[in-house]
Structure 1
Amino acid sequence: MAQESESRNLDKVIVRLPDGMRDRIKNSAERHGRSMNAEIVQALEQVFPPEPDIIEVIDRVHQAINQAEAAQSLPYRKGLIAALDKLSERLTSGIEFNQARTSTLSPSFLRMQDFTLRHERWKRASENGIETSDLAREIERGLFGKLDRNYTWTAIDYFKEGRADLAYKLLRLNELKFADPSDAEALIVSHLRKRYEENWGDPDEPYEPWSD
């Protein structure tokens, strides 16, 4: 009875299989000694594994950093450590950045302290929003570096018309929360206008995006 109750609580999805696939699933299930349902679930688990939470991802990055530091003979060790460290910094922040601190503590302690601070800053950004100084540094790192003329001009125009929600959606920032929305918007608009002027001319001149 307990199994029947548990089965009723499971999600059920009706799937239309193409010709021949049912037989392939049945044959595979028989080879592995599983039911067809278990075989399908196993296949789906491989294609759609559960996403790790932020703490699990950070732990894996830190383990990879420690392993890279121990591998003294690898010629690309320094580059690998730098790349992993940058990834850790991005993961822990929302749009977060290393903040230099002067200290006489040991390097290993400083590294652990830095990881802890990053996690604390990530929590703070999640609760209170991304600080404008962090946004500015991310912009310097190339946050909008791949925007072409069409996207840049359209985003500027949206801001100009007071439709910041559409601009943020276009820039894929609509799910982010800023600690000071007005300062963040002013910074983004200023950067976009400067980028447009440097590459395509006056952003206030008429332009038909995607016309070419």
Structure 2
Amino acid sequence: MLDVKREIAQCYQKSLEWMEMAKAGRGADQFMVRLPEGMRDRIAKAAERSGRSMNAEIVAALETFYPPEPTLEDVLEKVHTAIAQSNKAWGMPYRQTLIDALDELSDTLTKGLEVDQRPLVTVPVKFDLPEFSERMRRWRRAKKYGVEQQDLEDEIKKGFLRKYHHDTIKFALEHFREGNPEKALRQLKLADIKFAEPEKAYRAIESDLRDYFTENWGSPEAPWDHDEEE
């Protein structure tokens, strides 16, 4: 008796699905799909859990993988939301750099130049998921164990320390000479950064600051005139 009731319920459910599909099919795009063995049952179970028809379940799944292309307004809304969130994230690395980049993107988009819409003459750069994942792992590693020496040296080569005013650099170099690297890092606003190899990191930072100062203002050991003009 239970089997009969189950068969009746299944038939009723299928009839509802066919009625809905027929109703939805009026004026809608239709595309016949051959499902692999067993997939129909999996879709039916998922639809039952979601409390919707199989057709609605399939459409919802397709919407997830093939969402509508965002409009300019959608993109700008997300950019401005990211700017607002970044402004609140005081502990985030390179926070101001990200904010400036997002702001520049918003400014470019709203100008309507759309230079990236022109046909590319070279192979476009694609998002590299493995590289991104490796960067995230490196960031987590740095938060736990400290910035690795090679990463620090790479950033130094890019000019990481070339943004400071000569007064700040001279103070920092004095602290390094006095054997107080912690004070030097505070002067440079780097006190919150942990280094995997502190002594090597201090030497690399001091060396680059010394070279930069010498190139631009002479010997850092020379008598210092506080009223000296740059």
TM-score for the superposition, normalised by structure 2: 0.46
Structure with larger RCO (C-alpha < 8 A, sep 6+): 1
TM-score for the superposition, normalised by structure 1: 0.49
Larger radius of gyration between Structure 1 and Structure 2: 2
